[in-house]
Chains A and B, each alone.
Chain A
């Protein structure tokens, strides 16, 4: 992302739009807010106090204080940089929370959703069935759009992973419930897992 789009009007000295302010400073303000809340939680950590000896809350409090100081410093620095009129030739450093947009952010969201779904369904569907579905979903998201190839690859990989994890390195993977447990048991028999 170019630095120009972040600081846009700053160089000419005109006011910075609210949205840009929010994007620039919002995350730091959020961090300070969360840090203050954590500081309060740290103050309530219960322990048996020994006179003259630091308690278990001291270390997290030091880190939180550092977090607040750094974020506060960055907010002040960004405000000064944004409002200070500068020569046209002067470049602005491309730092801070400048958003760097992905080419395909929706694919990332879809892959995350597929993984969350996989974790939620793993207990119900069992390792084999859930893995076949998950592999098919991720391959589809990753650009493999031929249904026959998707089916063939995901089932084959399902067997390979079952063999690898169950038979070779003895990981106790979820079997699933009801009919899915039966499928898992058949697969286990086929891959030679006990």
Chain B
């Protein structure tokens, strides 16, 4: 079957009642977690993960993808109406969204956000669906060195984009990779770092690392912020007023530019919705027709970040489905859901007709999710915003229970709960000492894949590491990996040098002025 027919078959699957119910629940959950400040969409995906154990693979991935998709949209309501960004990616939205609200154009601002989410989501999903086939064909030609190079590229870009400090991100990544080596080694069957403990022989379950670091860690973070409830202004309306065709035509360049930015950035591992949102906003400010007015409350300032953040979802999903490589926290959780069902996503999924249908059902669900979240925005958001009024203490207690018992439900194991608590506390400490959490989580998940492809390459090529630089694909990926690590350092050095030069010039000017 060709792509179009597979996609049509995928749509038919999505509209089966189990998948549809999962999709609607996912959209509602995603909206709820994304409006709550301090609770990210990744946490929503993590909390839902344990409930997918008893579902079919398709249904569970549709549920998690719907949470991921709607999590990039609903935050616009609180950002625009109350100046409360539910997620970091919503921060650029409030600069112009709040400006429009202050002028009495809140309904229009929400309308622009809706159109932006719809455009970004649909266009990037369409682009990614058309890329899925060719990407998986390329991936099928991968040998162990190419696969290691692809994983290495994913890890280095995550490190490069994870935080201000490259060394700290590298340290965090090493922690994650080391965690993944605990237990019995897959090639030789040797015990590694078990310290004689039976609990560690099977390794540290990466799902518990995820639930601990993204779930319990965030709960601790929220508790640490104190118990201040959000006070919402009385009489605010969630009414949405859609822009006219003429207004839309006026913003065609912004729409095209931001969709391209979001989709392309989505393909880069580590550049999640937040980075896409800020980059699109920055590009619009620099190259937009009304760039100088951005920040004063104009639609371009809402459209650019909203499009880019929603478009990045499809951008991240396709490398996951075709290469098996997650590029963000949410896709790492979705990969975990695949692995929990005994399926390794990758190019082979598209070769088998049954699993190809699963892939295209998931891709079709992204289109339905985009339309569904925009429709739900009208109805469900009034209720969701009321969640902001629930005292944080109650909310934290409920979420903590879901995280803990959800983790317990996987294997009915108390040791898993201890892993969740230990990694949760570790995540909290890491945040305090400015060690980014994301590289460690991705390291723990991708560690076994990286080690396996590295070991196979080294065994096949008799310990000759230069093979990573011999084939055009692996050499290009390794070069890009090195570039992604070196580039931020070079950029920082150049900006420091220019800052120093500017300071010297200013001092010289001040000295000259004093002399005169």
Q: What is A's interface to B at a CB cutoff of 8 Å?
A: 27, 31, 38, 41-42, 45-48, 52-60, 63-64, 66-67, 70-71, 73-74, 77, 87, 89-91, 93-105, 107-108, 111-112, 115-116, 118-119, 122-123, 131, 134-135, 138-144, 153-154, 157, 161, 165, 169-173
Contact = CB atoms under 8 A, between A and B. Distances in A.
A45 B401 contact: no
B338 interface: no
Given A54-B459, A104-B226, 20 more contacts: A47-B185, A47-B188, A59-B181, A63-B178, A64-B174, A66-B170, A87-B504, A87-B507, A90-B499, A96-B167, A102-B432, A107-B223, A112-B425, A116-B421, A118-B404, A134-B401, A142-B397, A165-B405, A171-B408, A171-B412
Given A97-B434, A108-B223, A141 B393 contact: yes
Contact of A27 (B188, B433, B451): B433
Interface stretch (B190-198, B257-265, B304-312): B190-198
26 contacts: A38-B193, A41-B193, A45-B191, A46-B191, A52-B462, A56-B187, A56-B190, A63-B177, A64-B174, A70-B167, A74-B168, A87-B507, A95-B167, A96-B165, A96-B434, A97-B433, A99-B433, A100-B433, A103-B225, A108-B220, A111-B396, A119-B414, A138-B393, A141-B223, A143-B391, A173-B408
Nearest to A31: B171
A46 B188 CA distance: 10
Given A105-B224, A112-B220, A165-B409, A93 B401 contact: no
A119 B165 contact: no
A119 B220 contact: no
Contacts of A118: 404
Interface string B396-428: 111011001100110010100110010001001
B367 to A, nearest CB: 29
Contacts of A55: 188
Contact of A103 (B226, B401, B417, B428): B226
A142 B393 contact: yes
A138 B192 contact: no
B405 A161 contact: yes
B430 to A, nearest CB: 10
A144 B391 contact: yes
Contacts of B102: none
Given A73-B167, A89-B503, A171-B408, A142 B396 contact: yes
Interface residues of B, number: 69
A142 B428 contact: no
Nearest to A150: B393
A141 B220 CA distance: 11
Interface centre among B394, B462, B500 (most CB of A within 10 A): B394
A54 B457 CA distance: 10
B181 A161 contact: no
Nearest to B225: A103
Nearest to A68: B174
A187 to B, nearest CB: 15
B167 A74 contact: yes
Given A45-B191, A54-B455, A38 B220 contact: no
Contacts of A38: 178, 193
Contacts of A144: 227, 391, 393-394
A135 B399 CA distance: 10
A56 B170 contact: no
Contacts of A108: 220, 223-224, 428
A153 B391 CA distance: 12
Interface in B454-484: 454-455, 458-459, 462-463
